[in-house]
Amino acid sequence: MISRIEDQPAPTHDARGTEPLEGRVDLPRIEAAVREILIAVGEDPDREGLARTPTRVAKMYAELFGGLRQDPAEFLKTYFNEEYDELVILKDIAFNSICEHHLMPFEGKAHLAYLPDGKVAGISKLARVVDAISHRPQVQERMTVQIADILMEHLGAKGVAVVLSATHTCMTCRGVRKPGSTMVTSAVRGRCRSDARTRNEVMAILYDR
């Protein structure tokens, strides 16, 4: 039986139904969908400038949503054993993501702090965690919480603080159109939450521009 792309349900899991589908993005399906959008808004998808647009958009989505096929915790499996028990802070990690409500980009900076308990992560690994979590349909609030929880759980940190500030194009380019507005979200865990002195210290550093 021949079934068309649009007749097939979107696969989300493997044959066993347990593991998320990995390593596969259905590029032809995205191409067909983008072509449909162009027709729906009244464009001619076959005119010269648009002819290869569906292909480009499909590849772009595969890249922007590449985090769906990554487990961010993987990046924390390699760490250094250090007796350092002071705050580790990494600021100004640039990220971009796609708002899941409008499929429009939001981008900004992530600032992370954690209080290690024997395990210190490589700084590039922290940036990779941010990338894996941002490269999927997201909302900034959830992204902030996910980064904090992954650092707590997989680094065994005594405390974690995460601050994200971002500009959302769904707010600057459409709707209320407020260019220049930024949204700031934070998540604090462990001693960065329960110990007032640690919390004040870490927040002063993370919010200092």
Nearer Cβ to Zn ion (89/104):
104
Closest CA to 113 of 80, 158, 68: 158
203 CB-near residues (< 8 Å, 6+ apart):
161, 163, 186, 188
Query: According to the binding rule CB under 5 A, does residue 143 interact with Zn ion?
Result: no
Query: According to the binding rule CB under 5 A, does residue 102 interact with Zn ion?
Result: yes
Yes or no: say if 189 and 156 are a contact pair by the CB < 8 Å rule.
no
| Kind and range of the H or E run holding 60 | helix 53-64
Measured from the CB of residue 101, what is the shortest distance to Zn ion in angstroms?
Answer: 4
- Single out the segment in contact with Zn ion by CB under 5 A; choices: 12-20, 73-81, 101-109, 178-186: 101-109
Query: According to the binding rule CB under 5 A, does residue 99 interact with Zn ion?
Result: yes
Q: Is 170 noted as a catalytic residue in this protein?
A: yes
Element counts in the chain: helices (H) and strands (E):
7, 7
According to CB under 5 A, which residues from 150 to 189 bind Zn ion? 170
Residue 43 structure tokens = 């464009």
Query: According to the binding rule CB under 5 A, does residue 142 interact with Zn ion?
Result: no
Q: Is 192 noted as a catalytic residue in this protein?
A: no
Measured from the CB of residue 143, what is the shortest distance to Zn ion in angstroms?
Answer: 13
Closest CA to 202 of 108, 124, 86, 120: 86
Catalytic residue among 70, 102, 107, 201: 102
Measured from the CB of residue 47, what is the shortest distance to Zn ion in angstroms?
Answer: 29
Catalytic residue among 100, 141, 153, 173: 100
Yes or no: say if 187 and 110 are a contact pair by the CB < 8 Å rule.
no
Measured from the CB of residue 106, what is the shortest distance to Zn ion in angstroms?
Answer: 7
User: Which chain residues interact with Zn ion by CB under 5 A?
Assistant: 99, 101-102, 170
